Amino acid sequence: MRLTWSDVTPKALFMSRRQWMTGAASIAALAAASRAAQAAVEDVPNSFEDITRYNNFYEFGYDKEDPYRNAGQLTIDPWAVVIDGLVEQPGTYDLADVLAGQPTEERIYRLRCVEGWSMVIPWLGFELGHLLRRVGVQPAAKFVAFETLLRPAEMPGQRTGLLDWPYREGLRIDEAMHPLTILASGLYGEELPRQNGAPLRLVVPWKYGFKSIKSIVRITLTEEMPPTTWNMMQPREYGFYANVNPKVDHPRWSQASERRIGAGFFAPRIPTQMFNGYAEEVADLYAGMDLRVNY
Amino acid sequence: MTALAARLGGELRRVPIWVIWALGLLPLAWLIVRAGAGGLGVDPVKALEHQLGKLGLQFLLLGLAITPLRRLGLNLIRFRRAVGLIAFTYVLLHVAVWVFLDLQLRWSEIAADLTKRPYIILGMMGLTMLIPLAATSNDLSVRKMGAQRWRVLHRLTYGAALAGILHYVWLVKGWPAEPFIYLAVFGGLMALRFLGPRR
């Protein structure tokens, strides 16, 4: 069965989102007008074009536009997600089952890439915690591991040695259950485009973008910290936590500031915020931890 | 000069140097047109910065290909200084985009990059090596220095090209092919130059 957004979203919410969109458009116009006058950068959502034509999704190639060019061939229906490990109801869930009954919300999040650029993205999604509670988390579970689809026939990047496929990511269980952590299946009120990780991706707004794994086919609850792709490749550069932190440099470049994508040649650089500006919500998760060690 | 002139020759001897400049700056014109028309994508600063850097490397490699080509019978040596100066132009523009548009004169971050980041340091070493080469890429300098000393100085080109390519290799995430293609071409040209048949 093919679901559309009106199937999985209450009508009222769907309509209010439309209203929000027009509101956002006028806010964006206002902000664009005032931006010339003041240096401050406002958190205005990036255009649909920015968000869908500038992606790191190495399964479809290395260049930022490769996913836009190459992701069209990916089959996302049917789609199943294996949920296993330390859960009460392990199994292979059809995408419709995963989405069923989840209260879909619009979440407008900043996204900060480890490469030093950022965007603001209006996701549609639901809290990962809701799904995990539905399948039942066993008390022994300490971590959640995620895996991206492995399908070289449709993912040309996987036919190269660019990364160790399939792409893997992970969260600590309290990070996974945090209300800011969502599984997104939509963007700008529409179905998630393939280059953005359709049909189901993780979004963890206080961590560097590479943590927010795309096109998820497996969610495994574990007792041990799971291996994660970038960390496996260059552990000194990419930690398991990968929290946005202007004070901890990437070994090869500074993380003190970022360039907000989409504002042209003369867009001002902006200071990077601790936890990408979500410190109030998430700093407690890391109380007592040395974030220089656990980068 | 007669000795130099005697070594020129080949079918391209009548092509004036300005034609090389015009051809060499065509990619720049194309970049500017695309930039003006919004054709550099969502992040035009990075696109411009990377394109200029790659053009700099491409012209450096082209310059390094001239001697091996001559051994194959194609004599382009008359154009070598122009090719080198075009490469230098692209490298300078690449650094200018980095300073003005990417880091936006945030001097503390620029200073940190220049002292802490190996790939930035390598890139700057490459640029520094190119400066005396660009400054002496004219008839007067060749005459003043003498051809022998001039040639010795200009061996710095190998170092500059290698520094530039390693700067690129070191910068990327993962294992993309492109920077390694530059490295392979450089290695191939060096092999041809030093291992190939002598003239």
Closest CA to B24 of B77, B72, B67, B63: B63
DSSP A172: E
Q: Which domains does chain A have, with CATH numbers?
A: 5-286 (3.90.420.10)
Q: Which residues of A touch B176 (CB under 8 A)?
A: 62, 162
Helices (H), chain A: 5-8, 11-35, 48-52, 66-70, 95-99, 128-135, 173-177, 229-233, 279-282
CA distance to partner chain A, nearest, from residue B112 (Å): 8
**Per-residue pLDDT at A16:** 44
Residue A136: predicted pLDDT: 97
A253-265: average pLDDT = 91
Asked if A152 contacts A131 with a C-beta cutoff of 8 angstroms, the reply is: no
d(CA A275, CA A283): 8
Best residue of B31, B34, B42, B116 to probe chain A, by most A CBs closer than 10 Å? B42
State the residue for tokens 């931006």. Answer: A35
- CA-CA distance, A258 to A115, in Å (whole number)? 9
Of the pLDDT bands very low, low, confident and very high (cuts 50, 70, 90), residue A17 is: very low
By the 8 A CB rule, do B170 and A252 touch? yes
Point out the least confidently predicted range of A5-14, A256-265, B153-162.
A5-14
At residue A236, the pLDDT reads: 92
Query: Which residues on adjacent β-strands are paired with residue A183?
Result: A126, A202
Q: pLDDT tens-digit profile of B143-180? A: 999 999 999 999 999 999 999 999 999 999 888 999 99
Phi/psi of residue B40, nearest 5 degrees: -95, 15
Cα distance between residue A111 and residue A120, in whole Å: 6
The tens digit of pLDDT for each residue in A171-183 reads 999 999 999 999 9
Using alpha carbons, list the distances in angstroms from residue A84 to A3, A137, A139, A141, A184: 24, 10, 14, 11, 20
- H or E segment and range at residue B33: helix B17-36
- Over residues B23-68, the pLDDT tens digits come to 999 999 999 999 999 899 999 999 999 999 999 999 999 999 998 8
* Alpha helices (H) in B72-177, listed in sequence order: 80-96, 107-116, 118-135, 139-145, 147-153, 156-171
- Which residue is closest to A250 within chain B, CA to CA? B117
Q: How far apart are CA B160 and CA B132, in angstroms?
A: 11
| Separation CA B20–CA B62 (nearest Å) | 12
For the segment B87-143, what is each residue's pLDDT rounded down to a tens digit?
999 999 999 999 999 999 999 889 999 998 999 999 999 999 999 999 999 999 999
Average pLDDT score, chain A:
89
A236 Cα distance to chain centroid:
22
**Do A266 and B101 count as a contact with CB atoms less than 8 A apart?**
yes
Half-sphere exposure of A32 (CA within 13 A, CB side): 12
**What's the rounded Cα separation, in Å, for the pair A94 and A229?**
25
Closest chain B residue by Cα to residue A118: B43
Of B109, B96, B119, the residue nearest A254 (C-alpha): B109
Which member of B42, B101, B117 has the closest CB to residue A54? B42
* Whole-complex ipTM: 0.81
Which H or E element spans position B181? Answer: helix B178-195
**For residue A70, pLDDT beyond 90:** yes
Positive or negative, the CA dihedral A137, A140, A144, A149 is negative
To test the contact with chain B by mutation, choose from A254, A255, A257, A260 the residue with the greatest count of B C-beta atoms within 10 A, namely A254
Question: Is the minimum CB–CB distance between A69 and chain B shorter than 8 Å?
Answer: no
